Every structure is written in C-alpha cells, then in structure tokens.
Structure 1
Amino acid sequence: MEAPREGRRGEAPWKKMSGEELEKQYSPSRWTVRRGPEETLRTYSEIGIEATRRARTSRRSLLDVPYGAGEGETLDVYFPEAAAAADAWPLFVFLHGGYWQSGSKDQSAYMAGPLTARGVAVVVVGYTLAPKGTLDQMVDQAARSIAFVQKRFPCNEGIYLCGHSAGAHLAAMMLLVNWPTERGVTPNLKAFFLMSGVYDLGPIVHTSVNAPLRMTPEDARRNSAQWHLEAASAKPGGPACPVLVIVGQHDSPEFRRQAREFFQAPQTTHRCVLSTCSGPGPGGEPLSPLPAACSPPPSSRQTLCRGGRRASFEDIPDVDHFEIVWKLTERDSVLTQMILKTIFQEC
C-alpha cells in the first residue's frame, strides 16, 4: 500500500499522514474505548443479529422484497403495530455500514423495535458488496431502492433516510440525485441522518479498505459527495429538508474531521447548527434554514451549509463508531430520541 504523498499547505490533513497513521485513522475498531477491536466487532454483529431476530418475530414484516433483479437487491420492511390507512406511515430507510464489503440487512434492523413502537415503518436495504459490487453500482442501488420504496408506498408520510459509516456515504450521495430526471419519481424525502460517514473517499484509496473496492482516484472523487454538492441540480426534499451530520465522540479524528468538513460552517457567518448532545433529545437550538446571504467558508471544499441546506452537526457523547448505531436498539438513547423528534417535529 502506497503511503500518501506529503501535502502542500492548505491540503487535507490526511495527505500529510504516513501510510500507517492513515490506516489507523480509517480503522474504526482501533478507536473503541470500552472493548478491544475483536470484541467490539463481535458485539456489534451480535446486537444487530439479535435486534433483527426480535423484529422478525415480533413485528409484521415483508422480507427479501426485490427492488431490482441484481444480487443483493432486496430490502426488508418492518411495520408498526397499528395499521395505517393506505400504508400512510413515516418510513425510516436504513443503509447499513461495513466499508462497502461486509454487513447485511439481515443483521441491521437495530432500530426496528423502538421506531415501529412509535408508528414508524422501518426499511432496511441490502446492496451488492465488494468485490462483486462497485461503488458506482452501490450508489445506483441505493437510489433505486429509495425510488422503489416511494412507488411501493406512495401515501407515505415522509421518507427519513439514514446511513451508518459506508451507509452514510451512500445516503449522502442521494443528496446529489435529480430524482424526476434520473429516476422518474420524486421520493417524499423529509430528512437525512448521516451517522459516522465518509464523504471524501480520497483517503480510502490509500488504505487496505480499498483492496476489494479497487477504486482509482477518479472513482473516489466521482463517488465523494463532498466534491459535488454545489453541482447538484436539485435539493432532495427541498431546502427545508434537514440533514443531520452525526458523529460519535470516540470516532477517530479523521471520521470526525470528515463529518465536520461535510457540514462545515464558521460559526461567525452561518446559522447552521453545531451541537453536542447531552440530553434525551437533539442538542442546541432547533434546526434553522440558512439566510440567503450566508457567506461561504474559506475553503474550496463543498459543504452542506455552503450549499444552502438546512443542516446540523450532532456530536453524540461517549459513543464510538459502533455504539452509535447499536444504541438505536434503545428507546431512550440520545440518537433514537433525536430521530423520533425529527420525524414527529417535536421541539
């Protein structure tokens, strides 16, 4: 693995790192604080498997629903206990993590219990993992799955798109889609929850993560939401659609930098919300739209705030890269409550 070259002044910090340090920064299990790497990964998998098993035995569901003809192109739907006329539920659509090469919808229904108990249907999406799947293919599958969900449940009360880690990358790429032109449908997108994601894939090219992905620098840039926000011809859900960029206190410095730079807004010139959550609900003030005269940050990178989106940066205390998602099994966790408050517009 080739180490990144020495960066020039003003370049991203990762370009100044040794290959060894870059590898560590993009190895989330090496930054956990309560368990070792192997125990963390085992626990993460076990909690996901058990949450999915409980959801499948206790909730009405549709499993392995095809949204395409390709390998892995299926999704699971978990319904609330109470029936809704014309299937008019809010839909929480989840894209799992696993560095685009591991994980499964079959072990990722972490949030199905708490959300369906509050009247939210949960959709967990599968996609073709590397090395069989490419990044371009996965991004396309994410878009097709959302279009399918909208067509299958046309009376939904909003699609709330969430992704974790690699899934957050795929969810962020949905901000770039011109839905009517490219997909023939306009999904009823109401909010994005981007949890511990990677929005600039440039560093990944120089790590072992890239071995099954086989990304070139051109592939990485094409599939980096960070570099294309301003070129997006439409804002899914409109400018009032909130985008919550979420990161854990114990995520690695690089994951935290990626989240903050994707959101980035100097506090002196923006009304985007930066918050550190310390209670049962979202921290900081309620989300507010940007003023029309919002000044761009002094950076060539494209950010949510610079693009005029309604964005917040949510720093979840005392959780690592894996705990941030497995705590969605808990009804009273900070993030579960943040999601519910966003869906039901509770202040």
Structure 2
Amino acid sequence: MLQEMTSWTAMTKDELERQYSPRRWSHRMAADDVIKSHVKTLKEGTERARNLAQTLLNVPYGEGEGEKLDAYIPTTKSLDVPLVIYLHGGYWQFLSKEESGFMAVPLAEKGVVVVAVDYDIAPKGNMDLMVSQVRRSVVSVVQQYSHISGLYICGHSAGAHLAAMVLSTDWSQYSTVPQIKGAFLVSGIYDLLPILSTYVNDPLKMTEEVAIRNSPSKLIPQLKLSSSGCHIVVAVAENDSPEFRKQSEDYYKTLKSTGLNVTMEDVLNTDHFNIIEQLVDGNYHLTKLLMKMMGKS
C-alpha cells in the first residue's frame, strides 16, 4: 500500500517544493545528475528508435509553430496496427518530442505505431493552450491514421496530466470522437492546486481558476462520459515523493469508485525518471503490460 501523508494544505512552502521536486527523491544519483542522465537516456533511446523504425518527422497537427508530431512506423504488412500517442513530461516547461520516441524501440518491432507529440511549453505556452494542443493532436492523429486497430495514450509526469486531460475531453466540440482503448498515466499530477505556490508555477503563472479547470481530479464526470471504454493504468514509482505517490493513489481511488476500468501499478525499484526511461526495454514490466493491453504480448 502507498503510505499516508499529511495533506498538502498543511505543508510549508519549502516542504511543498521538496515534495514536488522529483530530482530530490532519486536514490540512484545526485539531484542535478539524475536530470542530466534522464535527458541523455531519452535522447539516446529516441535516436535508436529513429534508426529502427520508419519515421515521419515534424508532421503538423495545427497551425502553430510548436504544433508538430513525430511518427515511428513499423515495417509490417499487418492491418492490425495499434497506435500509441506519447506525451512527454518536463513540468510543462522542459523536454520535447526530440526526446520522446524512445518507447518505439520495442514497440515498432511488435508492429505498433508510436507518435510523439510536441506542445508549446511554458513560458511560451500556458496550461489552457497546452491542454488544447494535445487534444487537437489526438484528433489529428485519428484523422491521419483512420486504419489503426486501436488508439492508446501514454504520458509521463506533466505528460500524464495532459493525457488525463485528453481522457476528460468533451469531444462534442471537435470534429471527431477518438475511441481511446487504453491509457498509461505514469507518475502524474492530477490536482494542480498544490503546485500553485511552488517554483513549478513560476513560468506557468496559473491562477486558482486555471488550475481547477485543468485538474483531471476535478473532471471525473466528463472522463466517465468520454472514456468509459478505456482501460486506464495509473503507474507510480516506488521512489516517487510521498506527495507524487498520493496524487496517483487518490486519482486511482476516485476513478475506481466511479466504476471505471482502472488499475494501479506501484513499480518497484524505480524513481520518477527511470520508471519511464525503461519503456525502451521490451522486457520491462510496464512495456509488457502495454503490449498485453494491445494484444501484442
């Protein structure tokens, strides 16, 4: 079981910032080193994927300069081709699709298309814009790849938040209704209110109103309406901070209580960073789980 902890409302600003600084909770290396290692690992994995799979790079999904995606396409004649959309982390202010193709290394070999999505990170982009962009990217992918056998979405950290916002979309405002079969939400934040007074919000400049309307935990009725047929996996690292772990547990419990198809994965021997880095490995627990979900195990 995940441990209980004090409500964030009772924490000092310093403690909140410590809880929401994932680099300070890794047992593998120093705080700055774990970030450098993370970026290096993701870049190397993405380079490997670009050498293994056919690629379509910088495909526009909108008119904005940052509204582009990369597709990693397997060499297969099969018509049974699942597609996974990956939304990168980086606290809505770092990283890009250039480090986000790594999971195509094992998936392309199994006949799975992987799409890595860019969005306008802060300070250029604000939270409302980023959420709008990833929603539109999903619509664009569905329109471009109408022959796929199943649509799946995976996000890490800030990307898990954005993926959860995609699941909570009112699709009546869009030109199509994506049928997302499965979602992997890895070490995400589902309630944005705790980070309002932390360093994380400095470039985002979210108000309480913005945080509430972009918190997946506040949008459960819409998620149930839009994504009732989706199998949702909420994954958290053993060495994520207690507050990150609580975010995942609370979101999982809320989804479960409404009757949604959701499972919780508490991944042993991982921290906030290598829980996602290891998706480059076909034998990794979460990779095998994703493949099983897609019928590719």
TM-score (norm. length: structure 2): 0.95
Q: Report deviation, 1:232.
A: 4.7
- 8 Å CA contact 2:25–2:239 kept in 1: the answer is yes
Q: Give the alignment of 1:143-292 within 5 angstroms.
A: 143-179=135-171, 181-232=172-223, 234-236=225-227, 239-264=228-253
CA distance in 2, matches of 1:50, 1:81: 21
Q: Deviations over 1:241-281 (max 9, x none)?
A: 211000000000000000000011xxxxxxxxxxxxxxxxx
| CA distance 1:197–1:305, shift in 2 (3 Å) | same
Does 1:319 find its partner at 2:270?
Answer: yes
Q: Deviations over 1:146-167 (max 9, x none)?
A: 0000000111111110000000
Q: Report deviation, 1:177.
A: 1.1
Aligned residue number for residue 120 of structure 2: 128
2:96 to 101, 104, 126: 104
Does 1:18 find its partner at 2:12?
Answer: yes
2:131 to 123, 130, 139: 139
CA distance in 2, matches of 1:147, 1:174: 10
Larger CA Rg, structure 1 vs 2: 1
Q: Report deviation, 1:31.
A: 0.2
Give 4+ residue runs of structure 1 displaced > 4 Å after superposition.
Answer: none
2:289 to 318, 338, 342: 338
Q: Which has the higher contact order (CA 8 A, sep 6+)?
A: 2
- 8 Å CA contact 1:110–1:325 kept in 2: the answer is no
Does 1:309 find its partner at 2:260?
Answer: yes
The aligned amino acid for 1:36 is A
Q: Deviations over 1:4-52 (max 9, x none)?
A: xxxxxxx970000011110000000000001111111111111111111
2:279 to 328, 331, 335: 328
Q: Deviations over 1:203-242 (max 9, x none)?
A: 1101001000000111101100101212457232xx3321
CA distance in 1, matches of 2:98, 2:45: 10
Aligned residue number for residue 50 of structure 1: 44
| CA distance 1:183–1:327, shift in 2 (3 Å) | same
The aligned amino acid for 1:94 is Y
The aligned amino acid for 1:166 is A
Structure 2, gaps ≥5 residues long: none
The aligned amino acid for 2:30 is G
TM-score (norm. length: structure 1): 0.82
Q: Report deviation, 1:345.
A: 7.1
Aligned residue number for residue 270 of structure 1: none
CA distance in 2, matches of 1:41, 1:233: 35
Aligned residue number for residue 91 of structure 1: 83
The aligned amino acid for 1:74 is K
The aligned amino acid for 2:239 is H
Q: Deviations over 1:326-347 (max 9, x none)?
A: 001111011111111111176x
CA distance in 2, matches of 1:65, 1:240: 29
| CA distance 1:12–1:140, shift in 2 (3 Å) | farther
